[in-house]
Structure formats: structure tokens, C-alpha cells
Amino acid sequence: MNAPVSQFVPEPPVVAIVGATGVVGREVLQCLEDRGTPVASIRLLASARSAGQTLSFKGAHLPVEEVADHQFDGVNIVFFCAGATVSRRYAPVAAKAGAVVVDNSSAFRMDPTVPLIVPEANGSQIVPHAGIIANPNCVAAIATVVLAALQRCWSISRLNLVTYQSASGGGAAAMDELRDATSAKLNGDDYAPNAMPHPYAFNLFSHNSDVDGETGYNGEELKVIEETRRILSQPKLPIGVTCVRVPVLRAHSIALSVRFDHFVDVEQVRARLENAPGVRLVDDRDSNHFPMPSEATGEYDVLVGRIRRDLGDPTGHTIAMFICGDQLLKGAALNAVQIAETLLALGAAQEAA
Amino acid sequence: MNAPVSQFVPEPPVVAIVGATGVVGREVLQCLEDRGTPVASIRLLASARSAGQTLSFKGAHLPVEEVADHQFDGVNIVFFCAGATVSRRYAPVAAKAGAVVVDNSSAFRMDPTVPLIVPEANGSQIVPHAGIIANPNCVAAIATVVLAALQRCWSISRLNLVTYQSASGGGAAAMDELRDATSAKLNGDDYAPNAMPHPYAFNLFSHNSDVDGETGYNGEELKVIEETRRILSQPKLPIGVTCVRVPVLRAHSIALSVRFDHFVDVEQVRARLENAPGVRLVDDRDSNHFPMPSEATGEYDVLVGRIRRDLGDPTGHTIAMFICGDQLLKGAALNAVQIAETLLALGAAQEAA
């Protein structure tokens, strides 16, 4: 990654999506269309197995081609949505060819030369980059939209996150397994788990990433800790986290406790979040209406509610809340497209200057 | 409740179950049979609507009769499993008639003359009583089995509980709704929520009890705080709690953080819980096997795992864990039957003395 790269992207850019037929790749394509993100043309890339399919974009049927080194020639932005192994293999190739990579995988997230970006939280850190920009873990992305809005007003001294994570984090296979296993259970049929390590019908389980034998934290939890610290620029922030997979299709929920350095009024937190970009307040105590996956699904905003003082902290410095975000949108594809839009806006500003 | 009552119960006792046809009433009957709890005879009571049904007990078919004041004559133990309104109306009548009431509702749980009992935690506080003994809220019962075992070794200074609560807490109607709404969703049909305030298929929502407009805590959360403090005899213990209903049928899960006065070794906590009554350790990091509702369902023990240091507490005094318990068993019927068994054991000890 020491080849000279352009920090900016011409508008409209030539775009490529690697892993275009996966759940996240399809959502990136949909976001580009729905948001009217400027695009000159799109190249859809995938494994040999998926090549030959077509996907629709603005009424056209685009062919899916097999990913290969030469496919990045002349491309300005590449979204990588095919997992860390593919990103490690092809992202440096794309960057060397002059594209800016927006990488959805965990491959480069903790690389200090690779910005890890949630535009609402730390968009200004997108430059300088060396051709690759990382899209965070879904829980970190959803949480930091809210946390960064708070951090701008009040110093955060500790966090606790307990998650309710949807099947979509495990891809289309996990979503299918949740539907199929549940259907089998309702019909009294047997179902052998395949995409997930445990029965998924009307069940929940500790996140399916490997558990560190030393600390007892799983891979997902360690990502949440490291990436949240990095996005908030608080490298030593104490963060407690428990990641759990629940039988929900595509929105993550998080019970979040935020400890501030000083006493903060609950109403001030509510007012702050009511006006924060990317956040929608759903906090109606009278009608017991708070964030739910069913209402977060398909939404760009992260829903926030149940804002109240955390009675577990006798200092009164901690505020509890409950948040929901679409795992495939703010947790993945939408944030990636927002990163691309941030690059385009910077390029436009550069040109005007 | 100022009538003279016997503190003890003769063995084998004449037993009555009020709300016998409900989900908890049926489980009480099943527990009495499965555990071989000494019983002279059983009277099954319910509302006029359910009277006339029969339920099986040890191979016999027992009639369900309508609850009425005279039905408590000659009864030694009555399990109330029909909600707070019925308990408020009939429990004092049963106690006055000389029975000891084991009340599953919230009606008397915070009455200082009524012991609130989880036998493994505070069984010795069952006497003195004034004819009524309260069975705790399901989350409080499941959590305090674990917490009391820890509290005997180390002082607890704070708690944080985030729940994943099953449909069964809302009774048979809620369990049916979860199945029916999910089936409709899988078939692409509409389903209007009825037992629950929000869509339940592949969705979760903040607990359906009323929310206090002042504090933002819902009724379930306030019960968990008050009852956990009472069972642990720590009336001012700071407790943070978030109660959430998830699409699981009958086992509750809790992400639990316990802060101790001093540094406690994770291995010591694990060893303590491995040997605690009513607790089963499920904590295999290598195979990612931890407590799950699917494995807690139908079990008497509360499953405990994911025992690790809570990285959100920079003092290192906090241990995080994940627990699952059958909501209808340890969270309701089993604990009620264990209370009755505790009374019988005390009566036997009294007689021997």
C-alpha cells in the first residue's frame, strides 16, 4: 500500500462491487440506486460460482463477472463485500490500480494506515488514506452513530453493550436457516443446524465467533471493543460487551449504558439525540413504544429510546438506552455507501478549491 | 392476616392449585408429580370459564372446580397461579382458613409480613410467616439462585441485568401468539398482535409492562430491582436493569454483571457456581457452548456460563456471565413447589423436635 494514490474520487465514479450477489453486496447496489449516489457505471464481481447471474440497477440488468486482478482497471471506487480472505487478496490490487477501496470486512480495520469510518462519527478522518478505507463491524457502526453524538457534548468514561444480533450478520445462509429451522419447529419436524452452530428456532445463543480461551471474549466482542475505541478516538475506553445472536432476521438491537465523566441530565441526552444525524428518537413511555427490529428494518436511521438513568451506577453518571439499527444498512451497506459519498464530497470540494 | 396460623404444614398435605388450567398451574401439578412431593390430595381450582375441565395427576383425571371461599376448608397448602387480582381476593381467605399460601403473583411480594423466597437463596427466611409466602418475579428468582451463591462468598456492591425474556411470562396466550404470528409471517400472511402490544414474529421489544413516566423504568424492571434487593437482603443495592421480550417460548436469559467489593478471581467464581445448588455450569469456550433457552427449557437448574471479567469496569471488580432458566419452572412453578417442600421439611423437623 505504498503506491501513490489519489485521496479523492472523480464524480461520477466508475464503481465495482466485489461479492455483489451476497446479502451486503445486493444492499450496496440498492443503496446506490435509492440514494441517487452519482455513478458513471458499475462492475459487479463475485466468485466463479456466482458469475453469470444478473442483478438489476436502475432498470438495467447488469451481468456478474468473476473477480480477477484486471477487473479493477479504470475503477474509481470498489466496495468489498465478500469477507476478509477475499479483501486481503484483492483490496491491495484494486488500490494499486488506482481505485479507493471501501472494505466491509475486518481485514484492515485495525491497520493504522486504514481509516475506520462512520461518517456521522468520524467522517473527517477519512483522509489521509492509502487507498483502503474500512467499514466497521455492524455493532460498532450502529453504536457509534449514537455515541459520537453524545461524545461531542460530554466526555464518555465507560461503556457497556449487550447485544441482540440478527441472523443477517451470518449472511443469506443464516437468514435462510432461521426461516427454515423455525418452519420445521412449527411443523414438528427435525432440523439440523448448518449455517449456525446451535438450533436457531425460537432460540438464542452466544455469538458464533470463536471465543478467546484466555479472556473468555468472543471475536465479535473484541471487534466491538477495539473498533468502538478507534472510531471514538478513545484507545483505552473501558468497554464491557456481551454479543448474543437472537432469532431476528436483519436488525441488531443493543442495550447500551454510557457513563459520563460528570452528571448529565436525561432530558439533555434526549434532546441531543433528537437532533443527531443518522439517529431517530423512538422513546414514547406512555404508549410503551421503543426501538424494535421490526421498525428498524429497511431504515437508514438508528432508532434510539428507553433513555433513562442507569440505576446500577450509584454516582448517577450513567445513562441507559436501547438502540436498533438495520444490520445490512447502517451495519454494513449504507455505511459503506456513505463512505463513498464522503469521498465524492471531498473530491468536489477539492476541485472547487 | 392477623389470624393465628400454623407456621408449618402437615405431611402429606392437602393441596389446592388456584389457576390450575393456566400455564403455571399446569407446571405446578407436573412438578408435584415429577418430584414426588408428598401430597394427600389435590383440589384444582379455576375461574368459572375453566371449571369442568379435567387435568391428569399420577394417572388420575382430576376435575377442575370453580374457585370460591369454601374451597379452602381443610386445605394445607394453596398455590395461587392466577394473577394478582385473584390472589388479593382469595389468598387472605385461604390463609384465614388455615392453609399456607404460596403466591405466584406480585400481590404480596413487597409486604414485609410476607416472606419472598427462593429456597436456594433465602430459604431460612420462610419463617416466620403469616399464612402467605410470595414466589418472586421470574427474572429475580432465576438471577438470585446464582447471585446468592456468590454473595455467600463475596460482598456484592452493584448489579446489572439485561434480559432476553420468553413469551411464557405472558401466559399461554402469548406463547400461542408467538407461534401463530411466526407461522403467519413465514406464510406471508398478516397477523394482528393481540396478547402482546407489538409484532412478535422474528421481533423483540421492550417488556410489555407499563412504563413509569418519571424514571423510564417499566413495571417488570422495578420488580426485578425491588425483589432482588429483598431476596439478597441488600435493600439499597444499586441495580441497573433492562427487560426485553424476545421471540423465545419459555426460557429467560440474562446478561448479568456482578460487581464485588473486592477483586475476585474468575476461576473462583466458576468453581463456586459449579458447586452451587440449583445451578449448572455450561461454560465451554472451546466449543462455544454456553447457556441457551433450548437447553434450559424443561430443566430445574439455572444454566450459567460465559463467566469472565467485565472489561467495562476498570477496577476489575466486576464479573460478567450469561444465565438461562426455564421461566415456567425456576421462574414460577418449580420455585413454588420448592417453597412448599421447604415448609414440609420444616414441619417434619418441628415434629421430630
The C-alpha R_g of chain A, in whole angstroms, comes to 20
Q: Is the pLDDT of residue A13 over 70?
A: yes
B257 annotated ligand binder: no
Residues of chain A with C-beta less than 8 angstroms from the C-beta of B228: none
Please say if the pLDDT value at position A171 is more than 70: yes
Please name the residue of chain B whose CA is at the shortest distance from the CA of residue A215: B308
Q: Are A101 and A78 in contact, with CB atoms under 8 Å apart?
A: yes
Residues A21, A23, A29, A31: what is their CA dihedral angle, to the nearest 10 degrees?
180
Is the confidence at residue B48, as pLDDT, over 50?
yes
| Grid cell at residue A305 | 429510546
What digits encode the pLDDT tens for the residues B200-248? 999 999 999 999 999 999 999 999 999 999 999 999 999 999 999 999 9
Q: Which of A221, A239, A219, A220 is nearest to A229 (CA)?
A: A239
Helical segments of chain B, H only: 23-35, 84-96, 119-122, 138-151, 171-186, 219-231, 266-274, 293-296, 334-352
Indicate which residue of A31, A81, A129, A138 is catalytic.
Answer: A138
Which residue, among B180, B327, B210, has the nearest Cα to A287 in the 3D structure? B210
Least confident of A155-159, B4-8, B67-71, B198-202: B4-8
Closest to B293 (Cβ–Cβ): which among A182, A204, A286?
A204
The separation between the first and the last C-alpha atoms of chain A, rounded to the nearest angstrom, is 27
Placement of cell 437468514 in the chain: A175
At A215-260, the pLDDT tens digits run 999 999 999 999 999 999 999 999 999 999 999 999 999 999 999 9
For residue B290, the chain A residues in CB contact (below 8 A) are 205-206
Active site residues per annotation of B:
138, 252
Q: Rounded CA gap, B78 and B41, in Å?
A: 12
- Pick from A204, A209, A220, A326 the residue to mutate for testing the B interface (most B CBs within 10 Å): A204
Residues B206, A322 contacting (CB under 8 angstroms): yes
d(CA A39, nearest CA chain B) in Å = 35
Q: Which domains does chain A have, with CATH numbers?
A: 14-136+332-352 (3.40.50.720), 141-327 (3.30.360.10)
Residue A334 neighbours by CB under 8 Å, 6+ apart: A27, A31, A300, A326
Question: Using one digit for the tens of pLDDT, what is the confidence trace for A328-347?
Answer: 999 999 999 999 999 999 88
Q: Is A284 exposed, middle or buried (CB count within 10 Å of its CB: 0-12, 13-18, 19+)?
A: exposed
The helix or strand, by DSSP H or E, that contains position B43, with its residue range, turns out to be strand B41-46
Radius of gyration of chain B (CA): 20
Model confidence at B5, in pLDDT bands (50, 70, 90)? low
Is the pLDDT at A2 greater than 60, yes or no?
no
CA distance A133 to A125: 10
What does the alpha-carbon distance between residue A228 and residue A234 come to, in Å, rounded to a whole number?
A: 8
Cβ contacts of A322 on chain B, cutoff 8 Å: 206, 242, 244
Cα B106 to Cα B23, B136, B224, B351, distances in angstroms: 17, 7, 11, 32
CA distance to partner chain A, nearest, from residue B285 (Å): 6
Shortest Cα distance, chain A CAs vs residue B294, angstroms: 6
For A291, which residue in chain B has the nearest alpha carbon? B205
Choose among A182, A213, A242: nearest Cβ to B186: A182
Is residue B125 marked as binding?
no
Task: Measure CB to CB from residue A294 to each of B199, B215, B311 and give the nearest one.
Answer: B199
**A99/A10 Cα distance (integer angstroms):** 10
- Measured between beta carbons, the chain B residues lying within 8 angstroms of A288 are 197, 206, 208, 210-211, 218
Cβ-Cβ pairs closer than 8 A, A with B, add up to: 182
Q: Tell me how far apart the alpha carbons of residues A70 and B246 are, in angstroms, rounded to a whole number.
A: 48
| Polymer length of chain B | 353
Please report the pLDDT score of residue A5 as a whole number: 57
